[in-house]
Structures are given as C-alpha cells and as structure tokens.
Chain A
Amino acid sequence: MADPATAVASPRSAPRRRRMVRDLKAMPGFTAMAWITIVALYLPIMVLVAFSFNENRSVVLWTGFSLDWYAKALENDGIRNAAWVSVKVALFATVISTIVATMAALATTRTRKFTGQGLVYGIINQPLMIPEIVTAIATLSLFALVKKLTGLNGIGYLMMAHAAFCIPFAYMPIRARLETMTLTLEQAAADLYAPPFKVFTLVTLPLLGPGIVSGAMLAFVVSLDDVIITLLIAGPGETTLPIYILGAIRRGITPEINAVSTILVAVSVLLVMLLFFVQRRMQR
C-alpha cells in the first residue's frame, strides 16, 4: 500500500480489501491481551477459593475436598466477633450514608441549578479524591482529639468514619438514577392533583427505588471491605473481619483464613451481582 495510486489502480487489491473488511476493527494480539487480563484478575482468587476447600493443612498441595476449614472458621470466636463487628458497622454506615446521599442527590437534581453546585459535588466526592491513608490518619487525629476532649469512647467513631466514606458511593447511583428520570413524570402527577408530598411518595420514591438499592449495596460492600481507615481508627474490641484477616496473614498463612476470605469474597460478589441485575432492570 506504499503507493496509493497503484493500490487504487490495481484490480488485485479489491479482493484483499474485502478480506480486511471482515475484521476491520480487530487489532492483532488485543484479544490475547484481554484474556490475559481476565486470567490475571481471576486466577489468584480462584486459587484462594480452591485451597479453602483443601482437606490438607497445606496450602500448596491439593489432597482432597473438605469443608473442615469453614467449620473451623465458623467456630473461631475471634472470627465470629470480627464478623459481627463488620456487619454492625456496615449496616450502620449503609443506613446513614444512603439516607443522606439520597437527600443530597434530590437536592442536586430536583432543584434548579444554584451557585456553589460545583463546590457541593466537590465536597460530596471528596472522600474519593484523596488517598485513603491520608483520610485515615486525618480522621484518627480528629478522633484522638475528640476523645481527649470529651472522654467518650466506643465503636461510634468507627461507624461514623465508615458512614462518611460511604456517602459518595451511595450518592453516585442515586444521582445517576435521578438524572435519567425525567421531571415529566413528577409533573404529570402534580397535574393529576397530587400535592408535593404525594408526588414524592407515590412517584419519585418508587421510581428512585432501584437507585437507592444500588447505592445501599455499594455502601455496604465498600464498608465491609475497608481496611486502611478501620486499621487506624478501630479501638480494642472493634476488629472487623478484614482487620482480623490482615492480622492472621501477618501471623502466617492458614487454610482457615482462605475459608473466611472466600466467604467475604462471596458476600461481595453476590451483592454486586444482585446490583448488576437491579441495574439491568433499571435500564429497561
């Protein structure tokens, strides 16, 4: 194809062109790279899951299928306590962050544009924009100060910290949903004699439902998976499951840890799959 003129003139170039048309968009090697990406993303997790079912204490050699490590993990008081703390914190953070995120999303989509809207977006998304380790030590400093001033202790600090960083995650899908919902439906309800409160409860809220569910699920997953902020802030007796796992890994690899990790991964995967289906339904 060095010389365009000959390429056009040559009758032979026609069939060659046609062969190229078939996979014009494909780039050589890209398919292989995509598969490498998928394998790289999933292989480690697959190995972890597989060895959590290994009968042998060894995490190297496969000797047979067993659920022993799950039983051991579930009997372990440390793990049970940590799981309970995780669930408590995640539920609290989910409820608080979803409620305030829903309110904020309504304010930023259901009222006219206002000065300072960019600033509001900036503040809401702030926890996403700075490195987590910075948020973690900053929050720790604040809480240390508050504890010293008030003498108050407890798991409330951890819960509030989780609620704060969950807000942007809950906010995103709710705002996205509100933005795709045209105002016309709400206007139609008002036109049909629904006063503002009824418009909200009978039209806005039911239609917003899938967005709120998505937001809540994201918030829950994010809280459940947090390590860095929790690691720095959690006091004694406030060990969450990821913190317990981190400690256990530092002490040495055991199949029990593989089992707990698998459970935690399964919970996240289930929630995210559920979310995926909710969003698919939302699009229809």
Chain B
Amino acid sequence: MTGPEVVTQRKAAVSVRGLTKTFGEGEYAVTALDAVEVDIRENEFFTLLGPSGCGKTTLLRLIAGFELPTHGVIALEGRDISALPPHRRPINTVFQSYALFPHMTVAENIGFGLRMLGKPAAEIRQTTERMLALVQLEAMAGRRTDQLSGGQQQRVALARALAPAPKVLLLDEPLAALDLKLRKNMQLELKSLQAETGITFVFVTHDQEEALTMSDRIAVMKSGRILQIGSPRDIYDRPTHRFVADFIGDINILDGTIESLDNGIASVRLKDGTAVLAQPGTATAARPGAASIAIRPENVRLAQAGETPTVSGTVENVVYFGAATNLHIRLATGEQMVIRNPGAVEEGRYRPGATIGAVLPPELIRVLE
C-alpha cells in the first residue's frame, strides 16, 4: 500500500528493456516478443491491448516470472528481476481461468499468499477478512470454490491476488469468461478497486472497448511489438500506426503521397490529386513518399452549401442507427469512406447515387506509419 502521501511524480513501477522471448529452437523458433520497451508507471491502470497471438500474454507471463526472457531486462522499481522465479517477485496475477485451488476454501485461497510469506496467523485472518469485505464475499469464506458462480470466483481470484499487497497486479483477460452484463459491472469495480488500493494494475485484453473504458494508458501490441503507448484519447484520436487506427474503433484510411513537410505538418496528395494537410503520428510516418492518412468517420463533415469540399464522392449506402447515420461513399479515387453524421440526414438529398462533398478538418487527419 502506498500510504497517505500524495504521489506527485509517477515513477516507473515496471521497466521493460529490450525484452525478447523466443519459443522453440532453430527453424521452428517463434518470436513471441521482439525487443519490447515499456515503462509502466506507479499506481496506473495499464492495459496491454492486441489481437490473440500478439504477445500480450507472453509479456504478462514474463513480468510474473512464469517464463524467463530470451533477452532483455525487466526491472521492478529499478531492481532487475528478470532472472527471479515467480515466488520471489512481489507481483501477483489474476488468471484468466481464475486458477482457484479446488481443495481449499475461499478464505484459504485468499490467505495462501500471506501464509507462504510466513505472516502470523492473526494477520492472515485480518487481511483475509478485509479482502473478503473488499470483494463483498464475507458470507462465502468457508465455501469450496466450486460452489461459487463465475463472478464470485472472479472476485476470489482478485482478493487472493490483492491480499499480499503486491507492488504490481497482473490481470490476464480476467473478464473474458463472464457474460456481458457482469463484465460491464466488473469493469467499473476493477477500476474503483485499483483507485482504492493504489496498486499498479497491468491488464491484458483483446477487447478495445474494455481497454478504452478502464485504462489510464494503453499499449497496443501486434506481432510481438508495442506499436503505440498512450492514454485512451491518444490511442483513439491520435493513432500512429495503420494497425492501431484499424484495431480501435472505425476509421477511414486513404492512400497518398507526402509531398512536403512544413513545421511538422505534412502536405499529402491523394490519388485523385487533392492535396490535404495532415499530422504525422511518428517520425517514421513523417517522411516524404507513399503514406496513408486516416480520419475517424465522426470527424468527417458533410460540406455545407457554398463550402468547398475536401473530397467528393457518390453515396453508396445510408445506414441509420438512432444516434447517428453512416453515409458510405465511394470517392473518385475508388476508395471507400464513411461519414458519421449525428442524428438523421435529409432523406432526399443523401440517397444512394447522389454526389456529395465532405470536409476533412486538417487538424483531425493523421498520417500513419
């Protein structure tokens, strides 16, 4: 626990440097992690987001110590722990399958870590009670774990991992097995639990919505690499990579060529000759030559009467869904674009086949890597 003082400067709780993990040998070798670098700050809710097989779980298991890295360093509060076995790392894990000991009661499960740390019985009992209260399972202390519902098992797993007051809590898709409603509740509960305990949470998920809802910062992973680290807003509004932009939310991606750079702003010529200004996400993206630009459907505006549109195209489909209407249009370049217009649109004007203009605000266009 961090005590009462206000944390003014957030130090790195976990620093990962050049972390590489290869499974198998020779021609069958598979690189699960490829020179990953990341600093997870103290007290933050940090999420590893990516499709299955991107290496997020491997990274988590390396931090926990279930696997040893092939290369690289993992440091906890500045101390190298890369070579330590899991039982010597002050880090606890909430497993996807919960991994509750079936031959122990709920209370015995929760007290297990403290017992292994050699804490006195009285302290174990007190902490166990406090944890049971924290996850609202006081009545279940003496139950066997197979008598609990999925949600309750989830809470026991959480309480068990929190009881020894670890420096870092690792959560491996802990909500994946719950149904949608329970999952939504647990998301909020987890978030407030993290704020309450002040423990650094490292959360693994493939669900982008879950990541956006819960995290302070998100690392988006693909093929063993971290592509982008940032706040949910950074990731959503300012994606750096085509993969990140595509993986989170809906986005329009157009191909073009960077013709010039001026003060960090790129001038991009699209395939139909239109020139637009855009913000490069990374240094790599800000190089003259072929480039992709991206803009969220909700950032594209229908051109008003008399306004010069940035691009124009033919309406192919109009999909109305209450809060907004999506206009699917085909540009002159042959590329598709979706415009999300709040509310409904005039039916006569935007029916399939009609030609319309769209305005792309330069400050909301990103150049992707």
Decide whether A and B are members of one complex. yes
Query: For chain A residues 86-127, which have a beta carbon within 8 Å of chain B?
Result: none
Contact indicator per residue, chain A 18-38, by CB within 8 Å of chain B (1) or not (0): 000000000000000000000
A192 CA to B160 CA in the complex, in Å? Answer: 9
Residue tally, chain A, CB below 8 Å to B: 19
Contact of A193 among B66, B95, B101, B116 (CB under 8 A): B116
Residue pair B101, A203 in contact (C-beta under 8 Å): yes
Q: How far, in Å, is B68 (CB) from chain A's closest CB?
A: 13
Residue pair B64, A191 in contact (C-beta under 8 Å): yes
Max chain B Cβ within 10 angstroms of own Cβ: one of A192, A206, A284: A192
Residue pair B146, A191 in contact (C-beta under 8 Å): no
Residue pair A195, B87 in contact (C-beta under 8 Å): yes
Contact indicator per residue, chain B 129-170, by CB within 8 Å of chain A (1) or not (0): 000000000000000001000000000000011001000000
Contact indicator per residue, chain A 188-210, by CB within 8 Å of chain B (1) or not (0): 11111111101100010011000
Let me know if A185 is at the binding interface, CB within 8 A: yes
Query: For chain B residues 93-113, which have a beta carbon within 8 Å of chain A?
Result: 93, 95, 97, 99-103, 112-113
Residue pair A187, B116 in contact (C-beta under 8 Å): no
* CB-CB nearest in chain B for A182: B97
**Chain A contacts of B101 at CB under 8 A?**
185, 188-189, 203
Let me know if B18 is at the binding interface, CB within 8 A: no
Max chain B Cβ within 10 angstroms of own Cβ: one of A187, A188, A198, A207: A188
**Chain B contacts of A185 at CB under 8 A?**
99, 101-102
Residue pair B112, A192 in contact (C-beta under 8 Å): yes
Whether A198 contacts B116 in the complex (CB less than 8 A), given A190-B85, A190-B86, A191-B87, comes out as: yes
Residue pair A192, B95 in contact (C-beta under 8 Å): no
Residue pair A193, B113 in contact (C-beta under 8 Å): yes
Contact indicator per residue, chain A 58-93, by CB within 8 Å of chain B (1) or not (0): 000000000000000000000000000000000000
Contact of A187 among B86, B103, B117 (CB under 8 A): B86
A187 CA to B96 CA in the complex, in Å? Answer: 13
**Chain B contacts of A194 at CB under 8 A?**
87, 112, 116
* CB-CB nearest in chain B for A206: B103
**Chain B contacts of A199 at CB under 8 A?**
87
Let me know if A184 is at the binding interface, CB within 8 A: yes
Let me know if B92 is at the binding interface, CB within 8 A: yes
**Chain B contacts of A206 at CB under 8 A?**
103
* CB-CB nearest in chain A for B163: A192
A188 CA to B100 CA in the complex, in Å? Answer: 8
A196 CA to B85 CA in the complex, in Å? Answer: 10
**Chain A contacts of B86 at CB under 8 A?**
187, 190-191
A206 CA to B261 CA in the complex, in Å? Answer: 67
A196 CA to B65 CA in the complex, in Å? Answer: 13
**Chain B contacts of A190 at CB under 8 A?**
65-66, 85-87
Contact of A192 among B65, B92, B97, B146 (CB under 8 A): B92
**Chain A contacts of B164 at CB under 8 A?**
192-193
Q: How far, in Å, is A262 (CB) from chain B's closest CB?
A: 38
**Chain B contacts of A192 at CB under 8 A?**
87, 92, 112-113, 116, 160-161, 164
A199 CA to B112 CA in the complex, in Å? Answer: 11
**Chain A contacts of B103 at CB under 8 A?**
206-207
Q: How far, in Å, is A278 (CB) from chain B's closest CB?
A: 14
A196 CA to B117 CA in the complex, in Å? Answer: 14
Residue pair B117, A193 in contact (C-beta under 8 Å): yes
Query: For chain A residues 235-284, which have a beta carbon within 8 Å of chain B?
Result: 284
* CB-CB nearest in chain A for B102: A207
**Chain B contacts of A189 at CB under 8 A?**
101, 112, 116
**Chain A contacts of B117 at CB under 8 A?**
193
Residue pair A188, B93 in contact (C-beta under 8 Å): yes
**Chain A contacts of B113 at CB under 8 A?**
192-193
A203 CA to B113 CA in the complex, in Å? Answer: 13
Query: For chain A residues 172-228, which have a beta carbon within 8 Å of chain B?
Result: 182, 184-185, 187-196, 198-199, 203, 206-207
Q: How far, in Å, is B119 (CB) from chain A's closest CB?
A: 10
A198 CA to B92 CA in the complex, in Å? Answer: 17
**Chain A contacts of B85 at CB under 8 A?**
190, 196
**Chain A contacts of B92 at CB under 8 A?**
191-192
**Chain A contacts of B93 at CB under 8 A?**
187-188, 191
Max chain A Cβ within 10 angstroms of own Cβ: one of B87, B103, B161, B164: B87
**Chain A contacts of B87 at CB under 8 A?**
190-196, 199
Q: How far, in Å, is A250 (CB) from chain B's closest CB?
A: 51
A187 CA to B97 CA in the complex, in Å? Answer: 12
Contact indicator per residue, chain A 109-150, by CB within 8 Å of chain B (1) or not (0): 000000000000000000000000000000000000000000
Residue pair A284, B146 in contact (C-beta under 8 Å): yes
* CB-CB nearest in chain B for A183: B66
A198 CA to B113 CA in the complex, in Å? Answer: 12
A120 CA to B160 CA in the complex, in Å? Answer: 39
* CB-CB nearest in chain A for B64: A191
Whether A184 contacts B146 in the complex (CB less than 8 A), given A193-B87, A194-B87, comes out as: no
Interchain Cβ contacts under 8 Å between A and B, 14 examples: A182-B99, A185-B99, A188-B100, A190-B86, A191-B64, A191-B87, A192-B87, A192-B92, A192-B112, A192-B160, A192-B161, A192-B164, A199-B87, A206-B103
Known: A193-B88, A194-B116. 12 other contacts (CB 8 A): A184-B97, A187-B66, A189-B101, A190-B87, A191-B91, A191-B93, A193-B87, A193-B113, A196-B87, A199-B87, A207-B102, A284-B146
> Chain B: residues with CB nearer than 8 A to chain A?
64-66, 85-88, 91-93, 95, 97, 99-103, 112-113, 116-117, 146, 160-161, 164
> Chain A: residues with CB nearer than 8 A to chain B?
182, 184-185, 187-196, 198-199, 203, 206-207, 284
4 residue pairs, one from A and one from B, having the closest CB atoms: A192-B113, A193-B116, A188-B99, A190-B86
